[in-house]
Amino acid sequence: MSPGRRAVVPRWLRGLRVRLILAFVLVTVLGAAVAAWASYASTSTSLVDEAQQRAVTDVRHRVGAITADLTMPPDQATLDRLRTAVGAPAMATYRQLSSSDGMEPGLVTAELRGAVRDRRELVMQRVAGPKLIIGTPVLTTALDGTRSPSGIEVYVLRDLAPVQQQMDASARSAALTSALALPLAILLALLAARGVLRPVREMRTAARRLAVHDLSTRLRVRGVDELADLAGTFNHMAAELQGSVAELRRMESDARRFVADVSHELRTPLTTLTAVVEVLEDETEAMSPNARASALLAVQETRKLTRLVEDLIEVSRFDAGAARTRPEEVELRQAVTDCLRSRGWLDAVELDAPEPIDAVLDRRRFDVVVANLVGNALRHGEPPVRLRLRADEREVEVEVTDHGPGLPGDLATRVFERFYKADAARTRSEGSGLGLAIAAENARLHGGDIAAGNLPGAGARFVLRLPRYAEEVTGT
């Protein structure tokens, strides 16, 4: 792995459950191991100390028992008798005399002999084996009770192998204790993780239910710990969210009802006003230039207001779920041509429809969608505006492109929002902001959609896709 790259941790190791179990097992096993080995160390020390104390006591007793019967200065026979009394393997020395049985002279080092002479007391030394060498001077007692070295030194070798065997058994017991703690620790960790993570899983499930708009979701609060506080906070948040959403839905419903009511109320007077301005339009030739300009402006604005009201009424139908498709057999190339001709756009749009295409869809709603897409390109884009019509056995595709500045930034995802305008992104903005939203609703009503984007060079691109053979669909 290169120095700059971090190790990739497997996904299953990053889960809270796994980390909790591993931490619990590690702490439990480590605690058991520390306790077991501390017990082993304490037992080992106790065994060694006890064995050494027994050996020292035994040597002192044996030496003390025979010291009174020794002939001073000792001869070789005296040393042999002393060595035999303390038990082999042992060695007794007096100046140049020495008596040894089963003990190699090299085991008794010069340092040990020096310590016995200098300290005038019993000295112990551990050697490999494991064995223990005990060295002690033989002291004589004068009539006045004073004790002085006799010059005799006794060195005894004691085997600590039995003690070592007990220590090894204790070590195996400690290792076995640590090993047995592992499955127990895993079991306890699983139980602890289950208890700790159950509220977390319940909260995850509740959060997912909230995400799919089940705002009545609540958690049961158990206990008085931090998780219980968290569950209570979650319930409070869910209640507040439910209240806020209910209020927003009420306000949205009121706004939609208001728009629908106002639109319908305006329809009748606008019909009358439209008839009046049409008469006025016919009389403009006889008016003065200023009066004619004012009259034509009134006609234009009245028609614009009429289109806005019609769009609002159409939107209210979608919101109420009252919009329905009325499928019929349609020849699409002719339907597109009729749409462009009726609006005077035949000369402004390049039509690419090489062959007739038969389909089953709602002719009126298809006309509305095409008119909104082409009208948007003519108003906001730049020529040439092209309409390309294609179809296969299952789908109809209508592509409308222009060569204007295109859709900058995130505009492609927002152009279908109601009343959305991006004046800075277009040369001018004359519509109500409902045309593309109505087009998208009509496409969805057919079971299709509209995608917005840009051409590789410049210009906006809108693609309408509809099922070629649609069935009757009710708006929702």
pLDDT tier for residue 14 given thresholds of 50, 70 and 90: low
Range in 5-9, 105-109, 242-246 with the lowest mean pLDDT? 5-9
pLDDT at 350 over 60: yes
* Averaged pLDDT of the chain: 79
| pLDDT tens string 221-235 | 877 777 788 888 888
- pLDDT in the model for residue 457: 76
Burial level of 82, CB count in 10 A (0-12/13-18/19+)?
buried
Higher pLDDT, 170 or 153: 153
Are 468 and 329 contacting, i.e. CB atoms less than 8 angstroms apart? no
18-27, 247-256, 373-382: which has the highest mean pLDDT?
373-382
Share of the chain above pLDDT 90, in %: 17
pLDDT tens across 183-220, in order? Answer: 777 777 777 766 667 777 788 888 888 888 888 888 88
Q: What does the radius of gyration of the chain's CA atoms come to, in whole angstroms?
A: 52
Residue 373 pLDDT more than 70? Answer: yes
* Per-residue pLDDT, 5: 55
Q: What is the pLDDT of residues 431-450, one digit of tens each?
A: 567 888 889 999 998 999 99
Q: What is the mean pLDDT of residues 258-268?
A: 67
Is the pLDDT score of 423 beyond 60? Answer: no
Residue-level pLDDT at 473: 47
| CATH code given to domain 323-467 | 3.30.565.10
Mean pLDDT of 363-392: 92
Quote the pLDDT of residue 212: 84
Q: Is pLDDT above 90 for 335? A: yes
pLDDT at 260 over 80: no
Residues 6+ apart with CB under 8 A from 319: 256, 260
CB-based burial label for 421 (10 Å; 0-12, 13-18, 19+): middle
Higher pLDDT, 192 or 150: 150
Average pLDDT of span 401-410: 84
Taking residues 279-304, report their average pLDDT.
81
Confidence of residue 352 (pLDDT cuts 50, 70, 90): very high
From 421, 423, 445, select the one nearest 434 (Cα to Cα).
Answer: 421
19 pLDDT higher than 70:
no
- Give per-residue pLDDT as tens, 99-126: 888 777 677 877 888 887 777 778 888 7
CATH class of the domain whose range is 241-319: mainly alpha
Q: Which of 143-157, 172-186, 214-228, 395-409 has the lowest mean pLDDT?
A: 172-186
List the chain domain ranges.
16-166, 241-319, 323-467
CB 141 within 8 A of CB 147: yes
Give me the percent of the chain exceeding a pLDDT of 70.
Answer: 84
Top mean pLDDT of 141-145, 149-153, 331-335 is at: 331-335
Task: Of 229-243, 330-344, 357-371, 386-400, give the lowest mean pLDDT range.
Answer: 229-243
CA angle 415, 420, 421 (to 5 degrees): 90
Residue 389 has pLDDT above 90, yes or no: yes
Check whether domain 16-166 has CATH 3.30.450, yes or no: yes
265, pLDDT greater than 60:
yes
Q: Residue 85 — very low, low, confident or very high, per pLDDT cuts 50/70/90?
A: confident
- pTM above threshold 0.75: no
Residue 139 has a pLDDT of 79
Q: Which residue reads 């020395």 in tokens?
A: 93
Residue 425 has pLDDT above 70, yes or no: no
pLDDT over 50 at 341, yes or no: yes
pLDDT of the residue at 406: 85
